[in-house]
Every structure is written in C-alpha cells, then in structure tokens.
A and B are shown apart, each in its own frame.
Chain A
Amino acid sequence: MVSAPQRALQGEDMPLSRRLPLWVFRIAALLAGIAMFFPPANPGRISEKINASASLFTNGVSYGTITNSMGRILRSQWIQDADITLLMIACVVVMLGVILCGVGGCMSLGNRKMRRRGFTFPLIGAPVMAAGLVLIRLSYNKMIAHGEEVDKLDKINMMIPSGFWVFCAFAGLLFLTALIAFLTTEKETDPAVKMEMDEKYRLFLMMLPVILLTLIFAYLPIWGWRFAFFDYTPGGSIGPDNYVGFKWFSFLFSDPATTKDLIRVLRNTLVMSGLGIATSWLPIAFAVLLAEVRSTKFQRFVQTFTTIPNFISWVLVYAIAICIFSTDGFINSFLTNVMHVSGANTNYLQVADHTWLKMLLWGTWKGVGWSAIVYIAGIAGIDQQLYEAAKVDGANRFRCIWHITIPGLTPTYMVMLLMSIAGILSNGMEQYLVFSNAMNKDVIEVLDLYVYNIGIGQNRISLSTVVGISKSLIGITLLFAANGISKTIRGESII
C-alpha cells in the first residue's frame, strides 16, 4: 500500500544515526508517561509525611490522598495549605509538560512534516516540565522556611525525592533528543505535502487510550504485588528497611493460626466450588426437560421467569432470603398463621447447619435458568433430521435425548466445565459476604472473602497480597492446564 518514496518520508529508511535520537525520545516520553502513575518516581513527595503511595498524578489531583497522614501537621499549620496548593499546581505543570512530550511522541510516528511539527511540542513541553520542577523546589523551599519559622523542621521531614531527579533527567533527555531530532529532520520544502501518518500507526494511536486504560487498571495492580515482600502498614512507606523477602510466604505455613485459617478457607472454597461443579449438569437437565415440553408458550413463560433471579444482585438475594427465611419471614408466618404450628420462629439464616448446601441452592436458584439458555440455544441448533432418522429407526424419546441431544450439548458443556475447574479458587465474595454472620462464618468464608477480610477488614495488606498472589498464580496455571486439556481432547482452545 505504501510506496517507496512515501516510506522514505515516514522515516523507515532513515539511517541509524537519525533513528536513534528518535527512539530514545519516544521511549523516554513513554517512560515519563508511565512514571506519572508510579509512586516511587513521584517528584512531588517532598516530605516523608506525604503519602508514599501517591504518584505524581495523585499528587496533582487529590489533596485528600497526599495529606491523609498529615493530620497534626496540617492542624498545627506546620505546613501551610498554600504551600501544598503550590505543590499540587507544580505537579500539574510537570504533567502538562509530560503530556506535551507525549503528543510529540505520537506525532513522531507521522511523515516528515508531521514529525517536524511534532518535535516542537517537546521543545515546549520539556521546559514546561522543568518549570514545574522548579515550582516543586520552590514549594519545598517555602515549606522549609516556614518549618524553620515555627521550629518544627524535625516534624515535617522535608526531603528531595529521587523522583525529582528522575524527572529532571527526563526533562533534559526529552529536550535534548527532541532538539536533535528536530534539527536533523529537514523542513518539508514541497508545500503540497500534508501532515500524514501511516495507517498502521494512526490506528495504533487511536487504540492507545484504550490500551493505556487497560494498562492502568488491569496491569498496573501487578505492581502492588511488591507489598508481599515488605512489612507494610497502611499509610506507611516501603523501602529497604522493611523489606522482608519471602517472610510472608513462609508465614502462611509457619504461623499456626494462619495455616489453620488457610486450611479452613481452602476447604470451604473447594467444597463450594466442588458442589458447583458436581451440579453443573443441572442446566443441561433443565434445558433438555424444557425442550420436551410441547407448548412453545409454556417454554417461553418458564424461561422468562426462571431467568429473572440472575439479574438481581446478591444483596437483593439476601433481602429475599430475609423476607422468606428470617424470624418474621414467609416460612415462619406461613407455619404460624396458615398451618397453625406454634413456636415457629426459627431464623433459618442464622442457623449454621448445611451452609454449603444452602449456598449451593441459592446459587442454583439464581443461576440455573440463566445457564440453561446456552443449552436451550444449543438444542435448537441440533439438526432435526437426526431426530427424525432416530424415530424411523424406532428410538423412543429417552433414546433420542441420550443419543442425540446430550452428545450435541457435550462440547459446550466441556467448555463450561473446564472454565469452572480453572476458576475453582475464585467463587467471588459477594454471595458469601452477604450471607455470612457470626454463626456460619467458619464454614462460609471462601478464599476471596478471606482475602477481603484480612486485607481490607484487618489491614494486613502484605499477608492478603501473598494469598492473592498465590491464588492468581494457581488460577492462571489451572486455566492453562484446562486449555491444554481442551486442546488435546477437542483440538480447540477455550481461551
């Protein structure tokens, strides 16, 4: 599609000496962009009292986050609000510079005219970054001056963070490389040439926002795995002094209480997942039986109403559970007022017996009608001639079901089964959270809920991260194993 001269314009035939600054510039701009969201590279953390998990971005936009461990300092005015505001403005200016450099980086994928125009952005952006860094330094100086004034310098722990120098280096590097690239890109002399970009890069840049969002919200959390290797307390910092290596990993097995908890939680998880897998044929039975009903209207009626529970949240399921099974719920009032049974006031939700079975039944109530839809559609897709041929051969309906319908649904079922085996450790936490109470908490706590309880409930970030990491790694291994099995058996992958 792209002709040779055009390719030359787009710079793919450029000599290495020219390509090098270009690539250094692009990579530096990308890294600076990522560093904006990277707390250890935060140039604005000019006091140890500023939240260590605040990135440059957070530092610029969220007053609450950066000051959340400064209570006394702010109340006593050891650091003035005006200086923090200045710091936040400075951070925004730095980000603005990074964004300008990013625009230049994007435009550097275009043709010569676009590249040359693009490099003017970092030539402005890098000095803007520098100006922002100067403002940060200014805010630092003002805080020091004020700290000396009120004689609390030892309380506010001012420092120049390493991120400050990192961003200084970025600003310098970006300016230098952009300048070289700008000077070595000849001005486009032909006025007929417009700013253009090869389609592949144009499409990529259009996709870039989506990629960045995914990176930030789905991949960046992996960076949080570092807490597993430190003694981290919320609001505190992590550094060489609280690095503990694999302490928390071995803690899982060396601390008797934790080991016991873990065994209990794993048992609950595996039993409940196991029950789910053991009953995973129910939707098939549902679909097969429904297909045996002759009236289409009845089929549609059943399908409509059995699917509703799938669309309400677990909190609402719990509300329904209360209205049916609590002390003043339907069962008890029915027994008392209609059947005239005296003393019917059991709160079935508080009874810990058969919790696993109850959870399974709630899951079935909520999900079976919905899960059956796949199989109902599958049955509709089976060739009717198969049934007719079988009938001619004298097969009754049970033989038809057994030899035609069930085999027709097996491939779909295998995919569902493998997926549920791969997800055996993840049964989600909402269902178990809403149904848990003091009576049943020992038997209802599954792995996901356990991670929530110790991580968010008890603030044991490091420990719960370790459990989470193990779970993620086992989960991905199981998924690949299930995929491998699927590939060998069915010759088709499931992911």
Chain B
Amino acid sequence: MSKKEQNAPQHIKRTTGDWIFDIAVIIFFCIFTFICIFPFYYLLINTISDNDLVTSGRVNFFPMLKNAEGNPIFGVQVNNYVALQNVQDLGSSVLVTVARTLLGTALMVITSAWAGYLVTKQKMWKRSFWYRFLVVTMYFNAGLVPWYMNMLMMGLTDNFLAYIIPGMVAPYNIILVKTYIESIPSSLEESAVIDGASTLKVWLKIILPLSVPILATIAIFGAVGNWNSFQDSLLLMNNRPDLYTLQHRLYIYLNSSSNLGAMMSQGGTISEQAAQSMLNQRVIQYTVSMVSIIPILLVYPFMQRFFVKGIMLGAVKG
C-alpha cells in the first residue's frame, strides 16, 4: 500500500469520473462500516441508559437518563451491570466459560506446538501417514449424532472435560505450527542436537521460543472459539445446567418467554432501586450480550496483528 502512495504523484491527472468513483467508494465503505459497528454501539447504549427509556424506545443514538422532571437527558448509568450478579445461573456460566477458555486454549496450544513440531521430523516412523491421518479429520467427520454417541460412550456428557479434551487436537492449528516451524532455519536445531540436546529439550528451548508468534495467533483464535462455544454445551450438558457456557446461557435468556426479572434471586447487596431496574427482560438480554461481547472486543486489538499472518499461513498448504 505504501508503495502505491509513493507513486501517487506520478498518476495521470484524475478525471471527474475518477473523483466521483472515489467518493462513491468512500461513502460505500463508510455506510458498510457503520452497519458493522452501529449494532454494537446500540446494544451498549441500551445497557447504560435508563431502563424505562429503553423500554419505550427513547434511546436511539445516545445513552439517556431521566432528569428530575422525568424528561430524557444525556447520561449513563452502570446499574444494569452491577445488578447482573443477581441474575440466576449467570455466574456459573461465566466461570465455566472462563475456565474452558483458559484451560482449553492452553492445552490446545501445547498440543499443537508439540504435534506441529513432531510432524516436521522426517525420521518419524510412518511420518507422512500419521500427518495425513491428522489432516483428513479436517475434511471428514462422522456426523453429529455418531459424534454425540461417541461422547456419550466416553462418559463425556454432563462433564466439564468434554469442553477441553476433544478440542486439544486441532489439525488446522497443527498445520499452521508445522508450516511455521519449517520456516525456522534447521541449523539452529541441528547445532543443539550436536550439543546433545534431547528432542524435548530442543522443543522447549529452541522451537517454542521461536514460534511464539504463531502460538500467539492460534492461542487468540482458539480463545475466541472457546469463548464463543455454544454447540457442545447445547448437545452434551443436558443434565448439568451449571455447566452451560455463557453463549448457551445467553441463548436461553434470548429465548425465554418468561420475565427474566422473576428469575433473579431475592436479596443481595445491591440497592433496591438497582434490583427494580433489572426487572426488565430486554435489558437483561442486552446486558448479558454486552458482557459476552466485551472480552472479544478487548482481545481484538491483539488479534488484529495476527489476522493476515494466520490466514496467509493457512493458505500455504501443509
């Protein structure tokens, strides 16, 4: 891109048509970008405005509170977020989701780093066969119900381990790591081997430090995947509502026809006013949605650095 900019002065004089085209393109992208971010903004202002105003549809573009006379004025409040602690079952879902995101991602990254390193080893017995054995699973699966029956057979239904263990082997990530490790000069590894380092030691001391960028990439994508997980919770945790993930819990809230306010436990430490203000199903739905979006928005700046790298590496065939 920068190259292009340097060349800009050499361009042939731009015609009126060029100008119109440029402006049209910019307007198009402005509109599209607006469509992409406005819903998030709208969701946010609905959670930090006065709940009565939200219900009556008075919050459109800016967060609003009521003044003394009851008229809408610009302002924010965070009572809804404070009151979330009283929403039943939400706490356990957040805990479960955080736990699976941390544990699941860590195990997946370690497994990918380990397997990705080993499959670069030409000396391994039947290496190419085992590599294909892993890669084929990206394109082929036995189907939802056989998979479910398999998990049932393994005793992984109604079991937290179901969130972590099956996700450990991620063939796509293994390919990414393998491709990356292959780009590391092999002389580094060879010199360590000559010095008598074992495979494990080479992996720990040389390969791991050098492949931090790719490991960070798969870690962040893996973490987002874990945070967003919904299907496994829906399928496997039928008898354990306390193990529902956050997305599953949100799905239930979004579909519940009863007033969620009624689901809130009585008492608690927050003021009665805040509790009152939570007696609004929509606002609970919005606030819980916001809570599950915020972590993604927080890691997003880090993720962005790895986008192109991750995607382009994936395009390189393993």
Q: Which A positions have Cβ atoms within 8 angstroms of B?
A: 37, 39, 53-55, 57-58, 61-62, 64-65, 199-204, 206-207, 210-211, 213-214, 216-225, 227, 289-294, 296, 298-299, 301-302, 304-309, 311-316, 318-320, 322-324, 328, 330, 332-334, 336-338, 365, 369, 373-374, 376-377, 380, 384, 388, 391, 397, 412, 415, 429-430, 434, 448, 451-452, 455-456, 461, 464-465, 468-469, 471-472, 475-476, 479, 493, 495
Query: Is there an interface contact between B153 and A203, defined as CB atoms closer than 8 Å?
Result: no
Query: Is there an interface contact between A203 and B143, defined as CB atoms closer than 8 Å?
Result: no
Given contacts A302-B33, A330-B42, 8 further A-B contacts (CB under 8 A): A65-B155, A217-B165, A221-B147, A224-B143, A294-B5, A319-B250, A373-B311, A451-B145
Q: Within the complex, what minimum Cβ distance (angstroms) separates B42 from chain A?
A: 5
Q: Within the complex, what minimum Cβ distance (angstroms) separates A199 from chain B?
A: 5
Query: Is there an interface contact between A224 and B36, defined as CB atoms closer than 8 Å?
Result: no
| Listed A/B pairs (24) with beta-carbon separation below 8 Å | A53-B153, A203-B125, A203-B127, A214-B171, A217-B165, A220-B150, A224-B149, A289-B25, A293-B26, A296-B5, A305-B33, A306-B33, A307-B304, A311-B224, A313-B229, A315-B254, A316-B292, A323-B39, A324-B39, A384-B7, A456-B145, A465-B145, A468-B146, A472-B143
Q: A313-B247, A338-B60, A468-B145 are in contact. Are A289 and B199 (CB under 8 A)?
A: no
A307: chain B residues within 8 A (beta carbon): 304, 307
Q: Which B positions have Cβ atoms within 8 angstroms of A?
A: 1-5, 7-8, 11-12, 18, 21-22, 25-26, 28-29, 32-33, 35-37, 39-40, 42-43, 46, 55-60, 111, 114-115, 118-119, 121, 123-127, 130, 133-135, 137, 139-150, 152-155, 157-159, 165-166, 168-169, 171, 199, 224, 228-231, 235, 247-248, 250-251, 254, 282, 285-286, 289, 292-293, 296-297, 300, 303-304, 307-308, 311-312, 315, 317
Query: Is there an interface contact between A294 and B8, defined as CB atoms closer than 8 Å?
Result: yes
Tell me whether chain B's interface is mostly helix, strand or loop, or mixed: helix
Partner among A224, A289, A328 whose Cβ is within 8 Å of the Cβ of B146: A224
A53: chain B residues within 8 A (beta carbon): 149, 152-153
Q: Within the complex, what minimum Cβ distance (angstroms) separates B154 from chain A?
A: 7
Per the bound structure, the CA–CA distance linking A343 and B6 in Å amounts to 56
Query: Is there an interface contact between A319 and B5, defined as CB atoms closer than 8 Å?
Result: no
Query: Is there an interface contact between B146 and A213, defined as CB atoms closer than 8 Å?
Result: no
A384: chain B residues within 8 A (beta carbon): 3-4, 7
Q: A224-B146, A293-B25, A324-B39 are in contact. Are A214 and B169 (CB under 8 A)?
A: yes
Query: Is there an interface contact between A388 and B7, defined as CB atoms closer than 8 Å?
Result: yes
For the complex of A and B, the 9 pairs showing the least CB-CB separation, nearest first, are A468-B143, A333-B57, A224-B146, A62-B155, A313-B228, A221-B142, A319-B289, A203-B124, A218-B137
CB nearest to B159 among chain A residues:
A62
A298: chain B residues within 8 A (beta carbon): 26, 29
Q: Within the complex, what minimum Cβ distance (angstroms) separates A222 from chain B?
A: 5
Partner among A312, A319, A365 whose Cβ is within 8 Å of the Cβ of B296: A312
Q: A203-B121, A302-B32 are in contact. Are A455 and B145 (CB under 8 A)?
A: yes
Query: Is there an interface contact between A312 and B124, defined as CB atoms closer than 8 Å?
Result: no
CB nearest to A333 among chain B residues:
B57
How many inter-chain contacts with C-beta < 8 Å in the A-B complex? 274
Per the bound structure, the CA–CA distance linking A55 and B156 in Å amounts to 12
Query: Is there an interface contact between B311 and A377, defined as CB atoms closer than 8 Å?
Result: yes
Query: Is there an interface contact between B22 and A293, defined as CB atoms closer than 8 Å?
Result: yes
Query: Is there an interface contact between A199 and B123, defined as CB atoms closer than 8 Å?
Result: yes
Q: Within the complex, what minimum Cβ distance (angstroms) separates B225 from chain A?
A: 9
A377: chain B residues within 8 A (beta carbon): 308, 311-312
Q: Within the complex, what minimum Cβ distance (angstroms) separates B165 from chain A?
A: 7
A293: chain B residues within 8 A (beta carbon): 22, 25-26, 29
B57: chain A residues within 8 A (beta carbon): 328, 332-333, 336-337
CB nearest to A422 among chain B residues:
B139
Query: Is there an interface contact between B124 and A61, defined as CB atoms closer than 8 Å?
Result: no
CB nearest to B231 among chain A residues:
A430
Query: Is there an interface contact between A218 and B153, defined as CB atoms closer than 8 Å?
Result: no
Query: Is there an interface contact between B130 and A211, defined as CB atoms closer than 8 Å?
Result: yes
Q: Within the complex, what minimum Cβ distance (angstroms) separates A341 from chain B?
A: 12
Q: A294-B8, A388-B7 are in contact. Are A58 and B153 (CB under 8 A)?
A: yes
Query: Is there an interface contact between A365 and B315, defined as CB atoms closer than 8 Å?
Result: no
Query: Is there an interface contact between B22 and A316, defined as CB atoms closer than 8 Å?
Result: no
Query: Is there an interface contact between A296 and B2, defined as CB atoms closer than 8 Å?
Result: yes
Per the bound structure, the CA–CA distance linking A336 and B39 in Å amounts to 18
Q: A221-B147, A430-B231 are in contact. Are A214 and B42 (CB under 8 A)?
A: no
Per the bound structure, the CA–CA distance linking A289 and B282 in Å amounts to 39
Query: Is there an interface contact between A323 and B165, defined as CB atoms closer than 8 Å?
Result: no
Q: Within the complex, what minimum Cβ distance (angstroms) separates A207 from chain B?
A: 5
Per the bound structure, the CA–CA distance linking A451 and B149 in Å amounts to 13
Query: Is there an interface contact between B40 and A320, defined as CB atoms closer than 8 Å?
Result: yes
A452: chain B residues within 8 A (beta carbon): 144, 235
Query: Is there an interface contact between A57 and B155, defined as CB atoms closer than 8 Å?
Result: yes
A218: chain B residues within 8 A (beta carbon): 137, 141, 169
Query: Is there an interface contact between B148 and A456, defined as CB atoms closer than 8 Å?
Result: yes
Query: Is there an interface contact between A289 and B152, defined as CB atoms closer than 8 Å?
Result: no
Query: Is there an interface contact between B142 and A225, defined as CB atoms closer than 8 Å?
Result: yes
Partner among B2, B43, B115 whose Cβ is within 8 Å of the Cβ of A323: B43
Q: A203-B118, A207-B115, A338-B60 are in contact. Are A221 and B150 (CB under 8 A)?
A: yes
Per the bound structure, the CA–CA distance linking A305 and B251 in Å amounts to 25
Query: Is there an interface contact between A210 and B169, defined as CB atoms closer than 8 Å?
Result: yes
Per the bound structure, the CA–CA distance linking A434 and B56 in Å amounts to 26
Per the bound structure, the CA–CA distance linking A135 and B39 in Å amounts to 62
CB nearest to B238 among chain A residues:
A456
B235: chain A residues within 8 A (beta carbon): 452, 456
Per the bound structure, the CA–CA distance linking A461 and B53 in Å amounts to 49
Query: Is there an interface contact between A320 and B289, defined as CB atoms closer than 8 Å?
Result: yes
Query: Is there an interface contact between A391 and B60, defined as CB atoms closer than 8 Å?
Result: no
Partner among A210, A224, A365, A472 whose Cβ is within 8 Å of the Cβ of B111: A210
Q: Within the complex, what minimum Cβ distance (angstroms) separates B160 from chain A?
A: 13
Partner among A37, A216, A316 whose Cβ is within 8 Å of the Cβ of B289: A316
Q: A225-B142, A332-B57, A373-B311 are in contact. Are A214 and B133 (CB under 8 A)?
A: yes
Query: Is there an interface contact between A221 and B289, defined as CB atoms closer than 8 Å?
Result: no
Query: Is there an interface contact between B254 and A318, defined as CB atoms closer than 8 Å?
Result: yes
